[in-house]
Chains A and B, each alone.
Chain A
Amino acid sequence: MPPLNAPEEGVPAAGLASWQQDNSSTSYASYAPNMLSELPELGPLPETPTSSPPAPGPLLSPPASFMRTTRPRRFSNISISSVAATVGSETQSACVGSTRDLTGRSPVLLINYQELQYESEVDKSLECPICRTPFHAPITTKPCGHTFCSECLLRAHQLRPVCPIDRRPLDVERDFCKARVIHDQLDRLRVKCPSQGCGHVCARELLAVHYERYCEYTPVLCPDNSCDLWIARQDAAPDKGCLHKYTPCQYCSKQVMKAGLEEHYDRECSGNTVKCAQCDSSVVQHRMENHVANDCPSTVVLCKWNKYGCGKSAPRHDVQAHEKKPCIYQAIGRLAQDREDDRLIISELKVRLSAAEGRLRVAEQEKTERRERKRRQAGNTNNTMPPFVPDLNLSNSPRAAASYNNGTLDSPEDYMLAQFERMETQMEDLRKNIHELDGLHSMRLLNDTMRLNEQIAELGSKVGVIGMHTTWLMNVQRQSRGQQRAGGVVGSPLSSLASSSGGPGTTNSATGSVTNAARNAPDNEGGRYYNSSLPLRRNSDGRGENPPRL
């Protein structure tokens, strides 16, 4: 490495022009094949069969081919298998997908990881010093320990074979290694789906699957074979045809591309707005239903916990305030929602378990059949062994299949056994998962009910106290009346009023009949307040026994 670098180090800084010439003459032509040969070792995803696209053009295609090789392995497997599966099928969409795939073009627009928007706070130390975005497929240099995105580092390395931070000479094959810990950290970052219109947020490692398989907004190739543009997946049905033709807008008669019609209505078109009758705001005509159903603040709606017993119905902004307050049915609603979620998960796990069991049964059957056949063969040595054809259902693990084909597993029986073991472990895992989930679920339920129980008990005790107060009051009143009747003269309407309205907090200056009544009811709490000697004695006792703490 040093000889390569030495002349550069020695050259005194030359004029500007000479440097620029140097720079512009650095083409990517030599860069592309290098990348392709290196990446299987470097990138996070080795052995992708897609890594052999047609010879790349000199300038623009190298990055594209690079991205192809760095696509997550999971997806590339999927795409390959889907191609294989659909090659024979006759539906138009399948043909489009597969034929284009086979010509080396991806049916889905690739993710540009540097353009991603991150939802979670990203630590500064997880940012590549070159592109200043969170690392994608990070590589660490072995001699100096600096980390970069593999793409950034390889590009920089192509221009000058040194570390971009400390200019230490680096060799691609010897000095680069994957940064696994960082890789895991990055996988957990929450990102927004890059498709326009899709608000999906997920962990970064799951993004590729969402984007390439499930997202309805992912740009895919236009279903029309003669068209080379991209279109959101939800609009790419073959029966809709190519949406990249211009049509006049029905409201303002401007020429608009079919695919952009919706956006045109929403953003530009002026002849398309109407006033909402309820809230007086102007809304795009064909969004009116949506506006009334979701946005309009004056429409009367039900509380969102309506299902769980809240009967509130009012204009939307009132209901929103009511829900925020929060609605008392929220606790129950949340609990019920959690339960529903858990039930969903459990049912999904059950389905997976039963599928695994089914596969296991098939595997067992195969095994017994094979044993049977072997025994028969042992008895009848003249028979030649029939050629082994592995069942497609069972060879769903490409690694196992590959190792079988490579001859690491000697016989079909070994292969079957390996499959069988794999099934068993899978089932065991599933069973464990279900148990865990069950436990978690019941724990959560218990916690929530405990809180409710406590609250109920508290309420009960409060009711008891109130009851006691009432009986005490009743006693007071009854006794004062008795005295009135007995004394006859003293019982003026004033004193009876005082006794009925005075609770435990009434002052001692009330009429004597009240204090008398209180003394006569020693089982009441309120009685103690009137028995003035008791608290005083306690106080003095306490002071006598305990020395001051200071």
Chain B
Amino acid sequence: MSYSMEDNQNSAPGSVPATKLGGARKGTEPGLNASKRLQTELMQLMTSPAPGISAFPSADGNLLAWRATIEGPDDTPYAGLTFKLSFEFPSNYPYAPPTVLFRTPIYHPNVDFSGRICLDILKDKWTAAYNIQTVLLSLQSLLGEPNNASPLNGEAAELWDKDPALFKIKVMDRHKDIEEDE
């Protein structure tokens, strides 16, 4: 098996359909399926976009890295703000969750200062039936309903209940701060 793989790679450049399909011989190669599925999702996002969210692959043509934006839902401290996120998909997506980070700094009980998110469906509750759209919708609803029982940002979790006004100020501060830096 290893020999044939080596052979394949050496003669790959320039050869046509045979080697192009060579990957499929080993059954379904994970990377291929992940891109295929991501293409389908892209198509779906383009044809039937959900309000308040958008996502697109990064400019370098790598389907395994995406950029996304969500708008802060009304009636939350985040109303009117827009947040950028990055998605990194593993090669065995959708069997493993993507790594999602907030690029725009955000003051939120379940997001730490480097943008990492604590959300169960991105970890142990992930299932293969989730997709980019459902993840973005979940994140949007997380903005309005943080899970204060397992905070990454303890201060934010306390303020959320105790002092909504101060919370709102901190949110605006943090959001503004870094957007100017960008």
A interface with B by C-beta (< 8 Å): 8, 11-14, 16, 19-20, 23, 57, 60-67, 109-110, 112, 114-115, 129-133, 151-152, 155-156, 159-160, 162-165, 167, 195-197, 219, 222, 228-232, 244, 246, 255-257, 259-260, 263
CB distance from B99 to the nearest CB of A (A): 7
Q: Would A260 and B15 be within 8 Å (CB), given that A16-B116, A228-B7 are in contact?
A: yes
Most buried by A among B15, B18, B147, B149: B18
Question: Within 8 Å CB of B127, what residues of A?
Answer: 156, 160, 162-165, 167
* Cα-based distance from A163 to B17 in the complex (angstroms): 38
Could you say which of A115, A130, A165 contacts B94, with CB atoms under 8 Å apart?
A130
- For B17, give the chain A residue with the smallest CB separation: A196
Q: Say which size band chain B's interface belongs to.
A: 35 or more
* Cα-based distance from A344 to B61 in the complex (angstroms): 52
Q: Can you name 9 A-B residue pairings with CB atoms under 8 Å?
A: A16-B123, A19-B123, A66-B27, A115-B32, A133-B40, A230-B17, A256-B14, A260-B16, A263-B16
5 A-B pairs closest in CB distance: A63-B27, A64-B27, A230-B18, A164-B127, A196-B17
Question: Within 8 Å CB of A196, what residues of B?
Answer: 16-17, 20-21
Most buried by B among A114, A132, A256: A132
Beta-carbon contact of B26 and A61 below 8 Å:
yes
CB distance from A25 to the nearest CB of B (A): 12
Could you say which of B3, B24, B149 contacts A112, with CB atoms under 8 Å apart?
B24
Beta-carbon contact of A14 and B123 below 8 Å:
yes
Beta-carbon contact of A61 and B128 below 8 Å:
no
Beta-carbon contact of A229 and B19 below 8 Å:
yes
Question: Within 8 Å CB of B22, what residues of A?
Answer: 229-230
Beta-carbon contact of B18 and A13 below 8 Å:
no
Q: Does B4 contact A (CB under 8 A)?
A: yes
Q: Mark B126-164, 1 if CB is under 8 A from A, else 0.
A: 011101000000000000000101100000000000000
Q: Does B57 contact A (CB under 8 A)?
A: no
Could you say which of A132, A159, A257 contacts B95, with CB atoms under 8 Å apart?
A159
CB distance from B105 to the nearest CB of A (A): 18
* Cα-based distance from A259 to B18 in the complex (angstroms): 9
- For A257, give the chain B residue with the smallest CB separation: B15
* Cα-based distance from A256 to B13 in the complex (angstroms): 10
Could you say which of A13, A131, A155 contacts B119, with CB atoms under 8 Å apart?
A13
Beta-carbon contact of B16 and A259 below 8 Å:
yes
CB distance from B66 to the nearest CB of A (A): 16
Q: Does B62 contact A (CB under 8 A)?
A: no
Question: Within 8 Å CB of A167, what residues of B?
Answer: 125, 127
Beta-carbon contact of A228 and B8 below 8 Å:
yes
Could you say which of A12, A132, A231 contacts B40, with CB atoms under 8 Å apart?
A132
- For A262, give the chain B residue with the smallest CB separation: B16
Beta-carbon contact of A131 and B37 below 8 Å:
yes
Beta-carbon contact of B28 and A151 below 8 Å:
yes
Beta-carbon contact of A13 and B118 below 8 Å:
yes
Question: Within 8 Å CB of A222, what residues of B?
Answer: 18
Beta-carbon contact of A115 and B24 below 8 Å:
yes
Beta-carbon contact of A110 and B124 below 8 Å:
no
Q: Would A156 and B128 be within 8 Å (CB), given that A13-B123, A112-B24 are in contact?
A: yes
Question: Within 8 Å CB of B128, what residues of A?
Answer: 129-130, 152, 155-156, 159, 164
Question: Within 8 Å CB of A115, what residues of B?
Answer: 24, 32, 36
CB distance from B165 to the nearest CB of A (A): 29
Q: Does B85 contact A (CB under 8 A)?
A: no
CB distance from B47 to the nearest CB of A (A): 12
Q: Does B90 contact A (CB under 8 A)?
A: yes
* Cα-based distance from A259 to B180 in the complex (angstroms): 57
Question: Within 8 Å CB of A165, what residues of B?
Answer: 127, 129
Q: Does B70 contact A (CB under 8 A)?
A: no
Could you say which of B16, B28, B96, B120 contacts A257, with CB atoms under 8 Å apart?
B16
* Cα-based distance from A20 to B29 in the complex (angstroms): 21
Beta-carbon contact of A229 and B129 below 8 Å:
no
Beta-carbon contact of A229 and B27 below 8 Å:
no
Interface residues of B in 92-121 (CB under 8 A from A): 94-96, 99, 116, 118-120
Question: Within 8 Å CB of B4, what residues of A?
Answer: 228
Beta-carbon contact of A114 and B96 below 8 Å:
no
- For A127, give the chain B residue with the smallest CB separation: B40
- For B24, give the chain A residue with the smallest CB separation: A112
Q: Does B76 contact A (CB under 8 A)?
A: no
Interface residues of B in 10-59 (CB under 8 A from A): 11, 14-22, 24-29, 32-33, 36-37, 40-41, 44
Beta-carbon contact of B16 and A67 below 8 Å:
no
Question: Within 8 Å CB of B7, what residues of A?
Answer: 228-229
- For A54, give the chain B residue with the smallest CB separation: B1
Question: Within 8 Å CB of A156, what residues of B?
Answer: 95, 127-128
- For A65, give the chain B residue with the smallest CB separation: B27
* Cα-based distance from A132 to B18 in the complex (angstroms): 26
- For A124, give the chain B residue with the smallest CB separation: B44
Beta-carbon contact of B28 and A57 below 8 Å:
no
Q: Would A16 and B99 be within 8 Å (CB), given that A229-B22, A256-B14 are in contact?
A: yes
Question: Within 8 Å CB of A61, what residues of B?
Answer: 1, 26-27
Question: Within 8 Å CB of A152, what residues of B?
Answer: 128
Beta-carbon contact of B17 and A12 below 8 Å:
no
Given contacts A155-B95, A230-B22, list 17 more A-B pairs with CB under 8 A: A13-B150, A23-B96, A60-B27, A61-B26, A63-B26, A109-B21, A112-B28, A114-B36, A115-B24, A130-B129, A165-B127, A219-B21, A229-B15, A230-B19, A230-B25, A232-B17, A244-B18
